[in-house]
Amino acid sequence: MTIRVVRRTGPRPLSLAVLQSDGALGSPAARLAWLEAQLEDLVSRDERPDLVLTPELFAHGYNAGAAFKDLAEPADGPLSAAVTVLARKSGAAILYGFAERAQGRLYNSVQAVDAAGERLTLVRKRVLPPGPERDLFAPGGGGPLFTLNGLTIATLICYEAEFPEAVRLAARAGAQLVLVPTALSADWPVVARKLIPTRAFENGVYVAYANHAGAERGLRYLGESCIVGPDGEDVARAGEAPTALAATIAPHAVAAAQARLPYLRDLAGLGPEDGPGS
């Protein structure tokens, strides 16, 4: 992973909003309208976010199947232009999931733009889970870490965060916050309730998990989007309905958690030969 520096100031608290959207929203236009309404509502409640996280494939819906071939667009296409307008209007960086068309392939991608309309990161899902995704998308090459408010941020997409190695690599690269847009079905509650808090705890980092709600073309989503602190405890957690979560990401909490349980530092004491019984 590489780090692209966006702002050179020291770390300071970051206001994060995690949006849990209705899976049945429909067209990209309807989804963008919903996103705009959520941004306006957050601002009206004096919860103006620095960063907004949406679910996996938010712009098109996750369960679109063969329609992705027509829906997919380049990373600098009309969808990017529309989200850039919303980012500038709201004063927030926005990370959104979409189906990307590039070099004749389709990717399950996420992209973030800042309040000035500059791209912060473009991430293509590397590890595709068993099921339809493997027939629809090509595996990507991940994407760079980025900084916002001096905070170093990594992005993993859904299934990728279920591997302890993926979050560990991000943390060792310096990530203090790991963003995870997802499309978790109701069949896998253990992921949102157990695995994601564990990933935060075992690395001493914040993990933000943004899921869909309701149903989409027969696929029932779990909901339960969450923001988990570096101590493994929930900072905020959604239920089943569409909603917006808001929380402050505090860099000092990451430093404190990693000092209290120095897993990242002490990992150096474990070599490949140090298996059970060694």
The residues annotated as belonging to the active site are: 56, 125, 158
Nearest residue to 189 via CA among 165, 223, 156, 228: 223
Q: How far is CA 91 from the centre of its chain?
A: 19
**Cβ–Cβ under 8 Å, residues 134 and 127:** no
**Cβ–Cβ under 8 Å, residues 97 and 58:** yes
For residue 26, the SS3 value is coil
Per the DSSP assignment, residues forming a β-bridge with 243 are 20
| Burial tier of 168 (Cβ tally within 10 Å: 0-12, 13-18, 19+) | middle
Q: Cα(143)–Cα(188) distance, rounded to whole angstroms?
A: 26
Q: Is beta strand 215-216 parallel, antiparallel or unpaired with respect to 219-220? A: antiparallel
CA distances from 76 to 79, 80, 119 (A): 8, 5, 10
Q: How many residues does the chain have?
A: 278
Per the DSSP assignment, residues forming a β-bridge with 22 are 213
**Cβ–Cβ under 8 Å, residues 32 and 82:** yes
Amino acid at residue number 178 = V
Per the DSSP assignment, residues forming a β-bridge with 124 are 109, 142
Q: Cα(227)–Cα(18) distance, rounded to whole angstroms?
A: 8
